[in-house]
């Protein structure tokens, strides 16, 4: 994280950092970042708080040449126009529901019907408030405990209505490092091979050239890892 921030400071026009669902006070405490700050720095809690302050200011989406929509999680039933994202006030924590939560937590539906058995999905602690979410075939309940799983039809309509060719997102371990969805209108990119030492997944980095042609560099998992 420190390296990424240093690169952003040194090359502000070349590095762009987007917020993910882990960049919040609650999730950093649940998944080890808070403990790591205490273990590796002399004033751990203060260091952690400074990181959280930075996380709360990060943008949540970006576009490449107005044709590729980049976001950590996915789409939202509330998202009709990109101006809605621009109006999200920062700094802000991540709420339990709504547009911001969906952009960071939602997933494409698993057509193989294996989503309920996936072990790679991080979970959000149960909200104290009652969810007002309304589910449908296009917007199914997400087994992470927050947001939705959206259909191929949602991806198709989003790209058509806002004139995008591709949605690029992360948020999920995929075996080959990248995985297309919805007739190649959406791609999941996961850059950490051997995720958490529990998976044999490859990592991947997507390159986009000046003609908006996408290619992938693969990061091989280490042998002997699960």
State the 10-residue block means of pLDDT for the chain, 226 residues long. Answer: 97 98 97 97 97 98 99 98 98 98 97 50 55 85 96 98 99 97 98 93 98 98 71
Angle of CA points 164, 165, 171, to nearest 5°? 85
CATH number, domain with residue 92: 3.60.21.10
Inside any domain, residue 88: yes
Catalytic site positions: 22
Q: Give how far Cα 6 sits from Cα of 10, 83, 131, Å.
A: 6, 29, 39
Token pair for 189: 């990119």
- Any domain includes 132: no
Domain count, the chain: 1
Which pLDDT does position 223 carry in this prediction? 80
What pLDDT score was predicted for residue 209?
Answer: 98
Do the domain assignments include residue 123? no
Q: What is the DSSP letter of 142?
A: P
Domain span including residue 204: 1-23+58-110+139-219
The answer to whether residue 48 is domain-embedded is no
Supply the pLDDT for residue 125: 56
Tokens 């808070």 appear where? 34
Sheet of 148-150: strand order equals 107-108, 148-150, 139-141
Q: What is the pLDDT of residue 116?
A: 37
Task: Please tell me the predicted confidence (pLDDT) of residue 224.
Answer: 66
pLDDT at 115: 40
Q: What is the pLDDT of residue 204?
A: 98
Is 2 domain-assigned? yes
User: What's residue 127's pLDDT?
Assistant: 44
Say what the pLDDT of residue 121 is.
63
């Amino acid at each position: 994280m420190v390296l990424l921030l240093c690169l952003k400071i040194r090359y502000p026009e070349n590095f762009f950092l987007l917020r993910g669902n882990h960049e919040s006070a609650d999730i950093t405490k649940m998944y080890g970042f808070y403990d790591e700050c205490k273990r590796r720095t002399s004033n751990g809690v203060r260091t952690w708080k400074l990181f959280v302050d930075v996380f709360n200011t990060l943008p949540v989406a970006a576009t490449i040449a107005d044709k590729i929509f980049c976001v950590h999680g996915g789409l939202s039933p509330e998202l009709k126009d990109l101006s809605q994202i621009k109006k999200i006030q920062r700094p802000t924590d991540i709420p339990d529901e709504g547009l911001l939560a969906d952009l960071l937590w939602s997933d494409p539906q698993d057509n193989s019907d294996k989503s309920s058995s996936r072990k790679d999905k991080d979970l959000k602690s149960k909200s104290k408030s009652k969810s007002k979410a309304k589910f449908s075939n296009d917007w199914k309940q997400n087994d992470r405990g927050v947001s939705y799983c959206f259909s191929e039809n949602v991806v198709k309509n989003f790209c058509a209505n806002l004139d995008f060719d591709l949605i690029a997102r992360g948020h999920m371990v995929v075996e080959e490092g990248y995985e297309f969805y919805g007739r190649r209108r959406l791609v999941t990119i996961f850059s950490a091979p051997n995720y958490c030492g529990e998976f044999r997944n490859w990592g991947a980095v997507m390159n986009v050239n000046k003609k908006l042609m996408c290619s992938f560099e693969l990061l091989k998992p280490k042998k002997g890892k699960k």
